[in-house]
Structure 1
Amino acid sequence: MDSRLTPATARVAHESLRGRVEAARYTPGEVAEVVVPLADLLAAPDGARDRQVLLGDGFTVIDREHGFAFGQAAKDGYCGWLRETVLGPPVGPTHWVAAPASHIYRAPRVQAQETASLSLGARVRVTGTSGAFAETPLGFVPSAHLRPIGDWFTDPVDVAHQFLGSPYLWGGNSRAGLDCSGLVQAALLACGWPCPADSDLQLALGQPVDQTGLMRGDLIFWKGHVAMIVDGEMMIHATAHGMTTRLEPTARAIARIAAQGGGPVTACRRP
């Protein structure tokens, strides 16, 4: 079983795995929610970053160890360890950040001190409005930056464009830094389309398409890399080549990646 998608540690497993995974104990898990703007999802307690989760993301806690909680992210099923301090009881988000980035403010006015930065995809619970601001339990967010959950974008390429210039970050999932699969996931989730976290998992999305017939929104894959087609000439991707999210001519990228030892295109998919 893929450990990235298996909610189990050596001690405890989710009850859905009973009969499939051996464990000393099975649990339905504890439903929690991310209460900080951004947190690393780790491969082990205090270990390396695998992915990231955003404010308002749901998380089912399966196990705890030395101040860390192991569990599964609701948005994509990815499993890993979070610091316990980044989790809290679920408050039930009502809106999501539909701008590339936003802030939480102490008061509902533009001159107020900001207390946190939010990335596209973060979720908040709106409890009221004050002028041009939405009130949340953490403070005030510009209403123009929010949409009700369920009010999604329709074009993932348009969403991906909002990340242009964002720095490349291995395992990143936010405007502050993201990798190739993080960009694809953010763009598809913002359109209400389910999407796994890593590029090899994204190979299962949609239907295969021929490289000669690529259309806007199609995904093009190399070993360990994925990009999104913009049109007949261009693609967009978060790439370690230049360490940024950029537009690049597709034919040029194919030739460059091959020349740098990244191999040929391995697949093309239409989500």
Structure 2
Amino acid sequence: MSDPRLTPDPALATQNRPAQVAVPVADLCRRPDGPRDRQVLFGEPLTVLHEASGWAYVQAEKDGYCGHVRQSALTAPRKATHRVSVPATHAYARADLKSPDLLSLSFGSLVTVTAETKDFAETPQGHIPRVHLAPVDARQTDPAQVAALFLGTPYLWGGNSRWGIDCSGLVQAALLACGIPCPGDSDQQETTVGAPVSSDYQRNDLLFWKGHVALVVDAETMIHANAHAMAVRYENIADAIARIEAGGDGPVTAHRRLGA
């Protein structure tokens, strides 16, 4: 049986129109007005498969995830040149940090730079500090370091941004920033990212529980977005394993290593 998260509904796939996200963050819902499954960020490319009653049924380019977003959150595609490489940034009315801020953007958002000054990059949305951007094809090399950018971010089920993120959203943001393909949900990540290992924990290993995933920082520490702290936090691995099992969510179900 096909996974409806990754396989477009043939009854709804009546269009094939490129678009991109035009708001800082948009919910990707299971059905119109339904529960949030994931989120998509400003500038992310999508394929619109169907439109009705103010909603668009789309498939995200970054991971193939399908869902419904509000039509008002979409616009015609524009070629991105840069991505936000810090936890969050602002687009200002002028190349002046004291000018009004027009838009807030999360890590990973995609923008089109049309001109540059000494300190700012001009985009159709406003002027963004150059130090907050990286070329769109630039890749980082350490997922755990990327995940650390989100420390303190509030936990949000299905969240993918600095304003709120969940366990699989954190792992996906960290891996995609390093050029490593990664699906959106933890059960998908558990079967497709890396390979099983049974040795000691190494930096950037992934630990899975039923419905949860964490990224190893060192032999004793992991980082994860979790409902226990309601935020992205570091946690001792042994303590987390004991706490999660005592809480009724069971033991570790997989230990996987990137590049193994």
Same fold (TM over 0.5): yes
Trace 1:147-186 onto structure 2 (pairs within 5 A): 147-186=134-173
Please identify runs of 4+ aligned residues in structure 1 that moved more than 6 A: none
Structure 1, unpaired ranges of 5+: 14-25
TM-score scaled by length of structure 2: 0.96
Partner amino acid, structure 1, of 2:101: E
Q: What secondary structure, in the 3-state scheme, does the structure 1 residue paired with 2:90 have?
A: strand
Q: Report the Cα offset of residue 144 of structure 1.
A: 0.2
2:67 corresponding residue in structure 1: 80
Q: What secondary structure, in the 3-state scheme, does the structure 1 residue paired with 2:33 have?
A: coil
Q: Report the Cα offset of residue 36 of structure 1.
A: 1.1
- Quick one: distance in 1 between partners of 2:12 and 2:26? 23
Q: Report the Cα offset of residue 130 of structure 1.
A: 2.3
Is the CA contact 1:133–1:140 (under 8 Å) kept in the aligned structure 2? yes
1:138 corresponds to 2:139: no
Is the CA contact 2:12–2:57 (under 8 Å) kept in the aligned structure 1? no
| Identity level (%) | 55
Partner amino acid, structure 1, of 2:6: L
- Quick one: distance in 2 between partners of 1:261 and 1:49? 25
2:25 corresponding residue in structure 1: 38
Q: Report the Cα offset of residue 131 of structure 1.
A: 2.8
Q: What secondary structure, in the 3-state scheme, does the structure 2 residue paired with 1:183 have?
A: helix
- Quick one: distance in 1 between partners of 2:29 and 2:149? 27
1:258 corresponds to 2:259: no
- Quick one: distance in 2 between partners of 1:192 and 1:106? 32
Is the CA contact 2:153–2:162 (under 8 Å) kept in the aligned structure 1? yes
Trace 1:1-271 onto structure 2 (pairs within 5 A): 1-8=2-9, 11-13=11-13, 27=15, 29-203=16-190, 204-210=192-198, 212-271=199-258
Is the CA contact 2:103–2:125 (under 8 Å) kept in the aligned structure 1? no
Report the aligned-residue RMSD: 1.0
Q: What secondary structure, in the 3-state scheme, does the structure 2 residue paired with 1:5 have?
A: coil
Is the CA contact 1:227–1:235 (under 8 Å) kept in the aligned structure 2? yes
Deviation track 1:51-80 (CA, whole Å, cap 9, x = no partner) reads: 000011010000111010001000110000
Partner amino acid, structure 1, of 2:165: L
Is the CA contact 1:234–1:247 (under 8 Å) kept in the aligned structure 2? yes
Partner amino acid, structure 2, of 1:261: G
- Quick one: distance in 2 between partners of 1:113 and 1:268? 47
Deviation track 1:208-261 (CA, whole Å, cap 9, x = no partner) reads: 111x42210000000000000000110000000010100000000000000000
Q: Report the Cα offset of residue 270 of structure 1.
A: 1.2
- Quick one: distance in 1 between partners of 2:237 and 2:204? 13
1:21 corresponding residue in structure 2: none
- Quick one: distance in 1 between partners of 2:139 and 2:83? 9
- Quick one: distance in 2 between partners of 1:153 and 1:201? 23
TM-score scaled by length of structure 1: 0.93
Structure 2, unpaired ranges of 5+: none
Is the CA contact 2:84–2:109 (under 8 Å) kept in the aligned structure 1? yes
Partner amino acid, structure 1, of 2:42: L
Q: Report the Cα offset of residue 35 of structure 1.
A: 1.1
Is the CA contact 1:150–1:192 (under 8 Å) kept in the aligned structure 2? no
